Chain A
Amino acid sequence: MADRVLTGTRFVHGDWACAEGAISAGCGYYAAYPITPATEIAERIAQRFPVLGGKFIQFEDEIGAIASVIGASFSGLKAMTATSGPGVSLMLENIGLAVMTEAPCVIVNVMRGGPSTGQPTMGAQGDVMQCRWGMHGDVETIALAPQSVQEMYDLTVEAFNLSEAYRTPVFLLSDANIGHLYERLTIPREEELTLVDRKRPTLPPSEYLPYRADESLVPPMASFGDGYRFYSTGLTHDEKGYPDMSVETQDKLVRRLCDKIRRNTDKITRVEALMTDDCEVLVVAYGIAARSAATAVKQARDRGLKAGLLRLVSLWPFPDKLLEKMAEDAKAVIVAEMNYGQLVREVERAVKPKPVRFLPKLGENPHTPGEILEAIRRIDA
């Protein structure tokens, strides 16, 4: 109980794995509001943090939770919250603040049926666009989509690493199925973990400018109490952090904040390709739907159909060029998502004029392999 990294293999559910991923990554602050199907993450953290010295608070609402996460991040701690779609909706304004002030933090969305209160206990993939476009203004975000309990652990660690490297909020898009699914989880030894910490200032306080970046586009980050006495605001600001409403400053700042992510798309992109080298039908899927897709692709190959699966592990920034390249030699692309059309729009855009067949799935469960196999067959026919 007292070890930070609980090395070993266990049979646990996704939410538990996510919580332990955060702990392994060095998360020191967690604030959240209970919401199905993410509550168990908070419950596991509430159990573990007091023993480890981490700070856990159950806030009065999701807005308070995310605001406090940003405060804790600037206090020098790795900070996280977990919620579901309705909670992300509440948090969006402050996630925008995190983007604008460049606060590393992790936001887990264990997605459920929407819109609105929807199906609280059922899985869905309906919040893909929300985490990309839900905030006002021009923002770029990073989003990862685990497909298994193991990935709930691994990708939570990865999410922290990306948030620290790029000084940005990172979303982990899971769903009710994975959150509550029991599977084998292997936690490595502490020495085997690769953890990334934010770049700290090397200049003394008299020379440090909190929002000046080098060619990496990521400014080194001081923490409260380090002696830098820096100022941050959600207002458009100059390199000192002071509000500056000029045209030049807005242009410069918005471009840097977006380019910080856009220009690093190749470094951030994580995918898994299954039998795509010679595929004629390319299936694109993510999260739990990708597991059905993998089975379908294998079944297709058994029947002599040249299908392949591109599983997106990172959804944002969307890897346009990669999709274009992967679809180049295919007859058509199939996108299987547990929603009524979200990431498919990005795929269509990237592979144009390649035909894209969309397979929606609403209601709780991922597609059956049979449904996807049927779609593959139809294209080949």
Chain B
Amino acid sequence: MTEEMKHPLSDYLRMDRLPHIWCAGCGLGIILHSYVEAIQELSMDLDKIVTISGIGCAGRASGYVNTDAFHTTHGRALPFATGISISRPDLKTVVISGDGDLFAIGGNHLIHAARRNVDMLVICSNNFNYGMTGAQYGPTTPLNTRTPTSPYGSIENPFNLVALVASSGATMVSRWTVYHVYHLKNAIKKGLQKKGFSFIEVISPCTTGFGRLNKQTPIEMMRQLRDNTKIMKVHPTEATIDPSTEIIIGDFVDVRKPTYGEILRELEAKAR
């Protein structure tokens, strides 16, 4: 697509790069839409946002937003973003990445960034597999799922992402789905304005990967997000997640604690 297309959100997108590379029905396009619409509704200055992503399908998101953006190495979006957040507290640092990038290879950085309460918003697209490389199992794949690297069924227990992030110290933790577009946008708006490590898990259909392995059509996957989810206000460890039976969604944690940058500035003042 080379000619300039008109779109109400065209100021927020790199229109010269649409249509995006994601598959038909992929939830990442919905997340992208939600993200830029949230920025628009908050009237944020596009010059003051930095969008960082890791590797994977979700990692391509940074390439479509009209902000300073960077596509880092696998699993390293969070430390990269930490470098920005600490160096430039005047900018809003946002990370968009996937469950594998943030919680498998990037898992160590995830728990420490949350522990430090570095000021940033992290939007994690959870599609229950490694989509980009062909639907292999990952840290959120339900037990017994057959994938190309678990042809007899996966034998690993999946993470509960919101529980892990909350117990590591994140000060805002939510889980929504790409079906719940208004709740998702509102959570993103809250995260964009919040100071602290803010995390939003977004359940998202991988239509050609996880969906095809489970013999689900895209519409069936979205119906599942509509019908198998329950909005509850619970402790993240009670926000259980099983895509085939029930996924608990909602805003689970929202507290205010000093951010890493704020404590650092206090320390600098004392040192002088």
Contacts and interface: CB of A to CB of B under 8 A. Distances in A.
A53 B268 contact: yes
A208 interface: no
B108 A68 contact: no
A74 B86 contact: no
A51 B269 CA distance: 8
B164 to A, nearest CB: 15
B44 interface: no
Contacts of A63: 76, 79, 109
A64 B272 contact: no
Interface string A231-244: 11111000000110
Interface in B108-123: 108-109, 112
B82 to A, nearest CB: 5
How extensive is the interface on chain A, given as a class?
A: 35 or more
A83 to B, nearest CB: 15
Nearest to B21: A243
B72 interface: yes
B140 interface: no
Of listed B66, B79, B108, B268, residue having the most chain A CB within 10 A = B79
A234 B72 CA distance: 6
Given A224-B68, A231-B70, A29 B271 contact: no
Contact of A224 (B17, B50, B72): B50
Contact of B73 (A94, A224, A229, A231): A94
Interface stretch (A54-62, A282-290, A308-316, A362-370): A54-62
Contacts of A68: 79-80, 82-83, 86
B5 interface: no
A97 interface: yes
A70 interface: yes
A51 B87 CA distance: 15
Contacts of A50: 264, 267-268, 271-272
Contacts of A230: 68-69
Contacts of A233: 63, 70-71
B91 A72 contact: no
Interface string A38-82: 000000000000110101010111011101111111111101000
A77 B85 CA distance: 12
Given A71-B84, A97-B72, A229 B46 contact: yes
Contacts of A197: none
A93 B73 contact: yes
Nearest to A74: B70
A204 interface: no
B169 to A, nearest CB: 13
A69 B263 CA distance: 20
B269 to A, nearest CB: 9
A227 B80 contact: no
Contacts of B267: 50
A272 B109 CA distance: 43
A28 interface: yes
B215 interface: no
Contacts of A60: 108-109, 112
A227 B76 contact: no
A351 interface: no
Contacts of B268: 50-51, 53
Contact of B83 (A29, A93, A227, A228): A29
Contacts of A94: 73, 76
Given A77-B87, A235-B71, 7 more contacts: A63-B79, A67-B79, A68-B83, A72-B86, A94-B73, A230-B68, A242-B17
16 contacts: A29-B87, A31-B83, A50-B264, A55-B87, A59-B79, A59-B112, A63-B109, A64-B108, A74-B70, A75-B87, A94-B73, A97-B72, A229-B46, A229-B47, A229-B66, A235-B71
